């Protein structure tokens, strides 16, 4: 069995006003795999992701990354936000290199790394552009390149493809899987899409309605060495989608 790189034990979270978001969440995330958090709106998917990232506190339980207790953000984790979180006044190159800039990496070194990952996500030639000159899909690619540039072991992605059209979304999904074949990162991915989860994931964590807790773990038996079209027609993929929907429909 693949070693867990992130362990969540007994996590609870209640927001001001008494809204209980998460209750006794226990889950392990295997190293080098893509795990998806999936569940009904308001079940705490993004809250859990931000707790793992160290961006917000929790009330009880603990998160461990590589065996070490999480008490805030760390260099082994990079976050790709749903709303891009780009610096509007900075170029694509500066945005992608920004994490390295904060770490004090010399300019020539950080820009060389940034250019490499800009090319990998398909934005070569856009280094001097600013966010206002980019489409939503291009902005999301900048966010992904920034996460890759800091070379974090764990990439946390909060509904990263939700703001783009369906064609762009499918291309993003294919590109992400291709990148992961080469980069061997651990990805924790939040989505509302059952099809997206089944297509991308090694492990799918189904959360119950608020307060969110782990309802089921699904591990799709999908051969991702096949083409995207073959995967989406594959019986195992279609059965996984139906199986997940059978669980989630009771919450709708």
| pLDDT classification of 145: cutoffs 50, 70, 90 | confident
User: What are the domain boundaries of the chain?
Assistant: 4-76+154-251, 84-151
What pLDDT score does 120 carry?
A: 84
3-state secondary structure the chain: CCCEEEEEEEEEEEECCCEEEEEEEEEEEECCCEEEEECCCCCCHHHHHHHHHCCCCCCEEEEEECCEECCCCCCCEEEECCCCCCCCCCCHHHHHHHHHHHCCCCHHHHHHHHHHHHHHCCCCCCCCCCHHHCCHHHHHHHHHHHHHHCCCCEEEEECCCCCCCHHHHHHHHHHHHHHHHHHCCEEEEECCCHHHHHHHCCEEEEECCCCECEEEEECCCCCCCCCHHHHHHCHHHHHHHHHHHHHHHHHC
CATH of 4-76+154-251, one of 3.50.50.60, 2.40.128.20, 3.40.50.300, 3.90.1170.10: 3.40.50.300
What pLDDT score does 152 carry?
A: 86
pLDDT for residue 52 is more than 70: yes
| pLDDT classification of 2: cutoffs 50, 70, 90 | confident
What pLDDT score does 121 carry?
A: 84
pLDDT for residue 214 is more than 60: yes
What pLDDT score does 1 carry?
A: 57
- Mean pLDDT over all residues of the chain? 90
User: What number is the average pLDDT over the span 16-30?
Assistant: 93
pLDDT for residue 75 is more than 90: no
The mean-pLDDT minimum among 6-15, 118-127, 194-203 falls in: 118-127
pLDDT for residue 202 is more than 70: yes
Could you tell me what percent of the chain has a pLDDT over 70? Answer: 99
What pLDDT score does 102 carry?
A: 86
User: What number is the average pLDDT over the span 131-156?
Assistant: 87
β-strands 68-69, 214-218 pairing: unpaired
The per-residue pLDDT for range 82-110, each reduced to its tens digit, is 777 888 999 999 999 998 888 888 999 99
pLDDT for residue 35 is more than 90: yes
User: What number is the average pLDDT over the span 66-95?
Assistant: 88
pLDDT for residue 167 is more than 90: no
What pLDDT score does 69 carry?
A: 94
| pLDDT classification of 250: cutoffs 50, 70, 90 | confident
């Amino acid at each position: 069995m693949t070693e867990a790189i992130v362990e969540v034990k007994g996590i609870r979270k209640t927001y001001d006003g008494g809204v209980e978001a998460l209750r006794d969440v226990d889950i392990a995330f295997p190293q080098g795999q893509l795990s998806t958090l999936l569940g009904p709106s308001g079940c705490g998917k993004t809250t859990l992701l931000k707790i793992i990232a160290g961006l917000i506190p929790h009330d009880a339980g603990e998160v461990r990354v590589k065996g070490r207790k999480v008490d805030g953000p760390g260099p082994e984790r990079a976050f790709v936000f749903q709303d891009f979180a780009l610096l509007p006044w900075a170029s694509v190159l500066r945005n992608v290199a920004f994490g390295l800039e904060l770490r004090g990496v010399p300019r020539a070194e950080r820009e060389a790394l940034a250019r490499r990952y800009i090319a990998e996500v398909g934005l070569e030639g856009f280094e001097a552009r600013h966010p206002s000159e980019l489409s939503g899909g291009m902005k999301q690619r900048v966010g992904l390149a920034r996460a890759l540039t800091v070379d974090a072991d764990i990439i946390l992605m909060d509904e990263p493809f939700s703001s783009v059209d369906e064609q762009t979304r499918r291309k993003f999904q294919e590109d992400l899987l291709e990148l992961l074949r080469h980069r061997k990162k651990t990805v924790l991915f939040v989505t509302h899409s059952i099809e997206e989860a089944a297509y991308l994931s090694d492990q799918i964590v189904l959360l119950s309605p608020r307060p969110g807790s782990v309802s089921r773990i699904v591990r799709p038996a999908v051969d991702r060495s096949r083409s995207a079209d073959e995967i989406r027609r594959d019986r195992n993929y279609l059965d996984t989608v139906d199986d997940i929907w059978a669980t989630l429909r009771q919450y709708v």
